[in-house]
Amino acid sequence: MGLIRKKADVIITNNSTLEEFHKKIEKVLQKEIPKYDKYIRPSWDEYFMEIMKTVSKRSTCDRGRTSAIIVKDKRIIATGYAGSPPGTEHCDEVGHLFETRYDKDGNESKHCIRTIHAEQNAIAQAAKFGISVDGVTIYLNMEPCFSCAKLFISVGIKRVVCQKKYHAGEMTREILKKAGVKLEVFEDNEEKY
């Protein structure tokens, strides 16, 4: 075995699952074989997360170019992004409208209040066109704020899928769990906002 290791161009060590081992092999193949570009069909969650990233480009506040995709039965029923109400000025045009806020420890932060959160915009779009969001999945750039989490519970959203954690998301995680709303986060890193 030692001789084989010495002659090998690549050594893949795996102390995990077979699925993790296959992922490692795919990475090596993509790196080592220039023309290796095996097509890998995305999962439904990956598919909707990619669309969510595109929708976020419509956002009109550079403090948080976020978006939301509401999905029912693998179909998009509404989208939303962080932006000002229709017919009003955008942060990208006139600057931010800041409000000073204090957390429970007395720490001060500035919060832009010109825009509507992406999640709120998506739910408003569904409501405007008479579409129920009861039992849906919502896809987000990061975990929702506490206010949006309460809104999700009230309108019947059952699953929340996020790209990243939100730095102030502890209360959000707690209330969603208590309400039986499933929260899934793709990446463990936090979005500092």
Render pLDDT for 169-182 as a digit per residue (tens, 0 to 9). 899 999 999 999 99
Task: Name the phi and psi angles at 107, rounded to 5.
Answer: -75, 135
Q: Is position 119 annotated as part of the catalytic site?
A: yes
pTM for the model stands at 0.77
| pLDDT digit string, tens, across residues 124-175 | 999 999 999 999 999 999 999 999 999 999 999 999 999 999 888 899 999 9
Catalytic residue among 99, 119, 190, 191: 119
Q: What are the residues whose beta carbons fall under 8 Å from the beta carbon of 76, sequence distance 6 or more?
A: 48, 51, 69, 70
CATH architecture of 43-83+118-191: 3-Layer(aba) Sandwich (3.40)
Within the chain, all domains assigned CATH 3.40.140.10 are found at: 43-83+118-191
